[in-house]
Chains A and B, each alone.
Chain A
């Protein structure tokens, strides 16, 4: 069964460093998302991406965050200068399309620890 894959599964970084979280969405999916979940808290929307551009972003997704789809398969989330409060599980997700199938499929997540 096709799945969303994320790498790495764990990332440890120093405060102020840049990190790139990588995702390979399901190959024929059209809509891509990043979510994060701070330990013990809700799954929070960060950004949605469609047709090579951001379609919506949350208040969390400030200038320190960016997303990119550099080729036909990868979808990345970059945090330019990490803060302690960026420590969370980051989930990538994708949807086939909005007309016939809106089911959101999640990757297994990247646990980011900022020290």
Chain B
């Protein structure tokens, strides 16, 4: 059973549109959730963290968490070509282990 699941994509959106990225996780005791952006050949870069149910907004990014459904999402408003990357969902479970999903590749079409 996969611990953190994401649709691998690619997800293609036109420039200026909203990109919606989704993630589900299996470990019910997980308390901390993160979204990372990874450009090809580069290391993951943290863009959002969320710890409680609901929405958290930071600029053009909104993270949404629903612990009952074991679901976390990332919305990117006004998508830009520079947002084209792979977005990794990460979950902290027991023993400080950070588990990553396979990532969703986002393509923003100019």
| B102, closest chain A residue (CB) | A42
List chain A residues, Cβ under 8 A from B90: 104
Tell me whether A42 and B92 are in contact (CB under 8 A): no
Please measure, in the bound complex, the distance between the C-alpha atom of A115 and the C-alpha atom of B90, giving whole angstroms. Answer: 32
* Segment touching A, from B17-25, B39-47, B58-66, B69-77: B39-47
Interface of A is mostly: strand
Consensus secondary structure, chain B interface:
strand
Given known contacts A42-B101, A42-B102, A102-B32, A95 and B46 CB-to-CB distance under 8 angstroms: no
Which residue of chain A lies nearest to B103 when distances are taken between CB atoms in the complex? A42
- In the complex, how many residues of chain A place their beta carbon closer than 8 angstroms to a beta carbon of chain B? 24
Stretch at the interface among A13-21, A63-71, A72-80, A105-113: A105-113
The reply to whether B43 and A50 contact each other, CB–CB distance below 8 Å, is: no
Q: Is A52 an interface residue (CB 8 A)?
A: no
Closest to B95 in A: A56
Seen from chain B, the residues whose Cβ lies within 8 Å of a Cβ on chain A are: 32, 34, 38, 42-46, 49, 88, 90, 92, 94-103
Given contacts A42-B100, A107-B43, A108-B42, 17 further A-B contacts (CB under 8 A): A41-B102, A42-B88, A42-B101, A42-B103, A43-B44, A43-B88, A55-B95, A56-B94, A98-B92, A98-B96, A102-B32, A102-B49, A103-B46, A103-B49, A104-B98, A106-B43, A109-B42
Instruction: Using CB atoms and an 8 Å cutoff, list the residues of chain A in contact with chain B.
Output: 31, 33, 35, 41-45, 48, 50, 55-56, 91, 93, 95, 98, 102-109
